[in-house]
Amino acid sequence: MKQCIKLSECTYVNLKQVGYFHINDEQIVISVGGESDFTVEYSKSYPDGKLDGPYYHYVKIQDFCRIKRQICKYFKIDEPKSDLSEQSNTIPKEHRLDVSGF
């Protein structure tokens, strides 16, 4: 089974090092025990290859679903059902990565 997942062209995450993760309809937050979490966000207007700091990645919907599927498969959990119209399940602001200084 794959132990690394590709977040962007230059960023891979070793799933053996994941401390926790949170998945909702718009974001995936992955903590690998460092100071910052990796945040993957689905963007309808995908800014081609855009990174908002080294830990914040905008991806196409296909990549978002792939990352979510790979995480769930590795940790042997059921994949959360998506409802992109449901906005009440977003990550609280205090848990989002602040990359304004980058």
**Which of residues 94 and 33 earns the better pLDDT score?**
33
The DSSP call for residue 56 is E
In a domain, 102, yes or no: no
Domains identified in the chain, total number: 1
What pTM, to 2 d.p., does this model score? 0.70
Whole domain around residue 47: which residue ranges?
Answer: 4-82
Q: What pLDDT digit, counting tens, does each position of 12-60 carry?
A: 999 888 888 999 888 999 998 777 788 888 876 655 555 566 688 888 8
In a domain, 63, yes or no: yes
In a domain, 64, yes or no: yes
Residue 31, C-beta contacts closer than 8 angstroms, at least 6 positions apart: 18, 19, 20, 21, 37, 38
Q: What is the pLDDT of residue 33?
A: 77
Q: What is the pLDDT of residue 91?
A: 43
Q: Tell me the C-alpha to C-alpha distance, in Å, between residue 13 and each of 29, 86, 89.
A: 12, 28, 24
In a domain, 72, yes or no: yes
Share of residues in the chain with pLDDT > 90 (%): 16
